[in-house]
Structure 1
Amino acid sequence: MKLVILLLAFLLGKAYGFPERYVRNAGSGGSSEEKKKPHIVFFLADNAGWNDVGWNDLTGVMKTPNMDALARSGVILNQTYVQPICTPTRAAFLTGYYAFRTGLGHAVIPPAMPSYLSREFKVLPEYLKELGYTNHILGKWHLGACRWDVTPRWRGFDTHYGPQGGFCDYYNHSVSTHQVINQLFGLYSGPMALDFRDNTGAMFHHKGTHASELIEKRAIDLIANHNPDVPMFLYMAFAVPHSPYQVPDRYTNMYEPTPVNNLQKYRGMVTMMDQHIGNITNALKANDMYEDTVIVYLNDNGGVGRFGSSWPYRGALATPFEGGVKAPGFVHSPLLEKTGYVNNELIHITDFFATFLTLAGGTPDPSIDGMNVWDVISKNKKSTRNTMILHLDTHPVSPCISILDDGYKLIKGFYDAARNLSSLYDLIRTDDWIPPPELSDTADIPDVPEEPKNTTMLFDLSVDPLETNNLAESMPEKVAELLQLAEEIAAGAPDPFFPLEIPDVSDPIAFYNNTWTPGWC
């Protein structure tokens, strides 16, 4: 009798057009038409640039064969935007709200700062947990860790493996304890303290092994031991290729030396990340999960000037120029209806919150800023998104608004931290066009007069994607229109959650056995 029931279920599935993998076992008690929830794998790179992936690389130098294959056989994202720096991008992704709404739109969170993503905001893994998902974050958290209840295990993740802060030395897994938190950055120097955890336990015993290789191995182990019938959310929050520029020699040696110090190592880190992505994809296939998986790759912000290459776009991380906020990305999945094409629709990182939640069977709150773009990607449908806030900072030392609406992009206010920190500007050149060294003699660099700091800028990206022609003076009405629109969207935004005081009790050497540890705020 059971065999007859199973055969009927199979035939009904065929008759009604449901893929076999979506037809539940008839003996399970579930509806034969109920879709299986997909596994979701989200790869987020740290400080990589637009030109650092093979499908965008204009030098022919970058070696990212695994990502290239996934991108070209999936959907390449050509108009996807993130925040200018790390913490705001992660807050936007996990909440579905623009980062300024969470209070984290100003800057990154250093380890000794008593700031965090408020529990007022329910995050994606908490929703997914209610829908039956097992959730893992491997890599950096960087949304605050001064209290245990704001760290990943208390925010819907079943496991966390990696740093709770923004980066660490890749071999000793530590971060400096002596910090000066100015009004823009946390600056580090002095003795080191561990910042690498296996859930809540400090990871002293793996020092000497590259942190990214540890994270890759843990991901493969989790996948190999996972029940494919239980939906999984795997958030691969890579720290690479963020500094420090450390990588096994086998990756460095894939590249020729360049006049730019550490660029060879940086490029090796990108290729190491590509190898991780290939190995993790193979693990999904080995455990019969790949056919039911949605894989997404994005950068968290632009590259670091002469290291991560944002060429041919203007700018780099920490600015709302295209080189700081336009992210290379792809979606790869057997569940896509249309593949092998470049998607040019406007997408924001908050949209992946809404998309993942919808794919999982949930319903996004209508108040969020993200929207479900699955059909935009899977079917190449027209997006209904015309507007997005690229950056909004109300901190008194760096007020800035950047909005994109119907192809026009406004930047008003403090848009370039590096120009205000002269010791960094020559290295990072965040408001400039910086070709890779291989193109330095042949690149057509726009001949644009240097403007005063923080000049209001208006660009028509439909005809000027490289942001060379500032229209602000010739189109004051458009400037006023976009400024009003941005202010309407931002109405009621909280003040930035960026306390400058470093509490003595945060000191990991004095109080926590040389380990950055929550519980002091």
Structure 2
Amino acid sequence: MHLYTIQWQGFVGCLMLGLLMNLGIANAQKQIPGKRPNIIVILADDLGYNDVGYMGSDANATPNIDAIAANGLRFTDAYTTCPVCGPSRAGLLTGRYQNRFGFEDNPGPFRRTEETIPGIPLRETTMGEYFKELGYNTALIGKWHEENVPLRNPSARGFDKFFGFINGASSYYINDNSQGKLLNGLRPVESEEEYLTNAFGREACLFIERNADRNKPFMLYVPFNAPHGPFEVPDEYKSKFSHVKDEKRQTFLAMINCMDENVGKIITTLKNKGIEEETLIVFLSDNGGECERADNTPLRECKGSIYEGGIRVPFCMQWKGVLPANHVVNHPVIALDVLPTAIAATGASVSGEWFLDGVNLLPYLTGEKQGEPHQFLYWRFLWHHAVRKGDWKLVKHRDQTDWELYNLASDISEQTNLSQQHPDKVKELLDIYTDMSDQMLAPQWGWQPDYCGSYNINNIKN
């Protein structure tokens, strides 16, 4: 049994794991030389693979995001760990497959037990907690998507500053915040007059301005909820795309453009404070594009699917003077890699005791290491299953009896099932998938009682 499959139980287990994590971080911190970079991770919500200009879109909705790719690297084969929001964010924040701690579905009405609390367990260490231990000022501005209990609030998970909402979606027009969903830390914001994407951009820029001149660096995580529904946007953005006849697509592009404008404000603030070259910037989407409005060309299907359209996402990164500019990376990478890469950028070592599934990409991006960072990538989302090794991908969806096999190098759209022609490859990948799934917890909560437990917090008959 792998050490990381051990289930820690109770307070003592949580405390011991926390001590191991913190001691590992403290020891790593001693190795940090000189000035450490600021870290900014920007996350879009339901953005399509081809919704950004640097991946081929001609909509001209993302000039500032495209600039990140031009000033750094873009990844053609980048993935998230799940085709829906909550689990994929849990993987990003911990650097571990979220299935390891039962976060396999969005928080829903069903629970494994009455005591089950959805969210990243306290025994797991979040990005905020890692960087807090490394001496960084930390902030989360945007969407969290966990259970709304104080111990799950970002303010209790390593983030000095939290401005955003807890659940999976929010109106973009908050106004008097009578429902109390928009929070500043643990407290509801009294009112918010700005369109929410602009409010998140404003707060992110304010955090940079307040921390740029301090003696210690900052880590800023900006998980926008754009362009996730509800699909509403100020007319000033929508008018830019008046030539788009499909109104659903027009609104979606306008929401993307507003988010991009705020990405530009963040970068401008870095430049004005003279710290752009001292900052590692990462941009990606939390899952594949929204099914009716996004452009996932040339991928098959969309959000919610384990075909490429549900899990392959836009992903780019810049660190001027350290990472090469306008560089394309074709090897498979995954959102799990963001955390160890960001930690390594500080000069700290990524400890094996953390049992991260993500990989530090820096040596592969600078040319220090050759080859692929991952031997394979794995996905399990309730009834959806997949594994990728090299160019080969094995996949099975709900109600399917047989596994499908695709060669993504020659068939990125997953149109030609090669399972009958390559039974040995099917067996090889199925063995990998089975070994990984055997290490994972059963889903602990969600929307599907057959998978996530039958206890219903809404007391609705199953």
TM-score with structure 2 length normalisation? 0.84
Q: Select 2:287's aligned residue among 295, 301, 306.
A: 301
Q: 1:238 to 1:173 in 2, by over 3 A?
A: farther
Name the counterpart of 1:117: 120
* Stretch deviating more after TM superposition (111-120 or 270-279): 111-120
Once the two structures are superposed, residues 226-246 of structure 1 have per-residue CA deviations (whole angstroms, 9 ceiling, x without a partner) of 135311100010000000111
Q: 1:101 deviation in Å?
A: 1.0
Name the counterpart of 2:410: 463
Q: Select 1:372's aligned residue among 360, 366, 389.
A: 360
Larger Rg computed on CA atoms = 1
Q: 1:77 to 1:92 in 2, by over 3 A?
A: same
Q: 1:127 deviation in Å?
A: 1.5
Contact 1:49 1:304 in 2 (8 A): yes
Contact 1:84 1:391 in 2 (8 A): no
Name the counterpart of 1:404: 388
Name the counterpart of 1:102: 101
Name the counterpart of 2:251: 265
Name the counterpart of 1:483: 430
Contact 1:100 1:392 in 2 (8 A): yes
Report the 3-state secondary structure (helix = DSSP H, G, I; strand = E; otherwise coil) of the residue aligned with 2:376. Answer: strand
Query: Aligned pair 1:344/2:346, yes or no?
Result: no
Whichever residue aligns with residue 158 of structure 2, its letter is G
Stretches of structure 2 lacking an aligned partner (at least 5 in a row): 1-29, 112-116, 446-452
CA distance, structure 2, for counterparts of residue 95 and residue 54 of structure 1: 29
Q: Select 1:156's aligned residue among 155, 158, 164.
A: 158
Whichever residue aligns with residue 460 of structure 1, its letter is N
Report the 3-state secondary structure (helix = DSSP H, G, I; strand = E; otherwise coil) of the residue aligned with 2:315. Answer: strand
Name the counterpart of 2:7: none
Contact 2:334 2:358 in 1 (8 A): yes
Q: Select 1:79's aligned residue among 67, 77, 80.
A: 77
Report the 3-state secondary structure (helix = DSSP H, G, I; strand = E; otherwise coil) of the residue aligned with 2:75. Answer: strand
Contact 1:137 1:161 in 2 (8 A): yes
CA distance, structure 2, for counterparts of residue 150 and residue 335 of structure 1: 37
Q: 1:214 deviation in Å?
A: 1.1
Name the counterpart of 2:376: 388
CA distance, structure 2, for counterparts of residue 345 and residue 174 of structure 1: 47
| Greater relative contact order structure (CA < 8 Å, 6+ sep) | 2
CA distance, structure 2, for counterparts of residue 164 and residue 235 of structure 1: 14
Q: 1:489 deviation in Å?
A: 2.3
Report the 3-state secondary structure (helix = DSSP H, G, I; strand = E; otherwise coil) of the residue aligned with 1:317. Answer: coil
Q: 1:91 deviation in Å?
A: 0.9
* Stretch deviating more after TM superposition (495-504 or 214-223): 495-504
Stretches of structure 1 lacking an aligned partner (at least 5 in a row): 1-30, 176-191, 415-451, 506-521
Name the counterpart of 1:212: 197
CA distance, structure 2, for counterparts of residue 388 and residue 116 of structure 1: 26
- 1:186-265 correspondence to structure 2 within 5 Å: 193-206=179-192, 208-226=193-211, 227-256=213-242, 258-265=244-251
Report the 3-state secondary structure (helix = DSSP H, G, I; strand = E; otherwise coil) of the residue aligned with 2:358. Answer: coil
Name the counterpart of 1:314: 300
Q: Select 1:353's aligned residue among 339, 343, 360.
A: 339
Q: 1:455 deviation in Å?
A: 4.9
Report the 3-state secondary structure (helix = DSSP H, G, I; strand = E; otherwise coil) of the residue aligned with 1:139. Answer: strand
Name the counterpart of 1:126: 129
Name the counterpart of 1:439: none
Q: 1:400 to 1:112 in 2, by over 3 A?
A: closer
Q: 1:403 to 1:200 in 2, by over 3 A?
A: same
CA distance, structure 2, for counterparts of residue 312 and residue 454 of structure 1: 26
Q: 1:173 to 1:389 in 2, by over 3 A?
A: farther
Contact 2:174 2:191 in 1 (8 A): no
CA distance, structure 1, for counterparts of residue 110 and residue 208 of structure 2: 34
Q: 1:350 deviation in Å?
A: 0.7
Identify, as 1 or 2, the structure richer in helix: 2
Query: Aligned pair 1:52/2:51, yes or no?
Result: yes
Contact 1:49 1:309 in 2 (8 A): yes
Once the two structures are superposed, residues 20-73 of structure 1 have per-residue CA deviations (whole angstroms, 9 ceiling, x without a partner) of xxxxxxxxxxx9x93211100001000010111011234x22321111122112
Contact 1:173 1:211 in 2 (8 A): no
Query: Aligned pair 1:137/2:145, yes or no?
Result: no
Q: 1:199 deviation in Å?
A: 0.8
Query: Aligned pair 1:288/2:274, yes or no?
Result: yes
Q: 1:334 deviation in Å?
A: 1.4
Whichever residue aligns with residue 158 of structure 1, its letter is D
Report the 3-state secondary structure (helix = DSSP H, G, I; strand = E; otherwise coil) of the residue aligned with 1:168. Answer: coil
Contact 1:345 1:376 in 2 (8 A): no
Once the two structures are superposed, residues 459-517 of structure 1 have per-residue CA deviations (whole angstroms, 9 ceiling, x without a partner) of 01122122111012222222122111111123231111115655469xxxxxxxxxxxx
Q: What is the alpha-carbon root mean square deviation over aligned residues? A: 2.4
Q: 1:502 to 1:459 in 2, by over 3 A?
A: same
Report the 3-state secondary structure (helix = DSSP H, G, I; strand = E; otherwise coil) of the residue aligned with 1:478. Answer: helix
CA distance, structure 1, for counterparts of residue 175 and residue 56 of structure 2: 31
* Stretch deviating more after TM superposition (486-495 or 403-412): 486-495
Whichever residue aligns with residue 255 of structure 1, its letter is F
CA distance, structure 1, for counterparts of residue 168 and residue 226 of structure 2: 11
> How many residues matched?
413
CA distance, structure 2, for counterparts of residue 263 and residue 159 of structure 1: 34
CA distance, structure 2, for counterparts of residue 459 and residue 244 of structure 1: 35
Whichever residue aligns with residue 378 of structure 1, its letter is T
Contact 2:39 2:342 in 1 (8 A): yes
Contact 1:136 1:160 in 2 (8 A): yes
Whichever residue aligns with residue 351 of structure 1, its letter is D
Q: 1:406 deviation in Å?
A: 1.9
Report the 3-state secondary structure (helix = DSSP H, G, I; strand = E; otherwise coil) of the residue aligned with 1:296. Answer: strand
Report the 3-state secondary structure (helix = DSSP H, G, I; strand = E; otherwise coil) of the residue aligned with 1:52. Answer: coil
Q: 1:392 deviation in Å?
A: 1.1
Q: 1:382 deviation in Å?
A: 2.6
CA distance, structure 2, for counterparts of residue 213 and residue 132 of structure 1: 29
Name the counterpart of 1:70: 68
* Stretch deviating more after TM superposition (375-384 or 357-366): 375-384
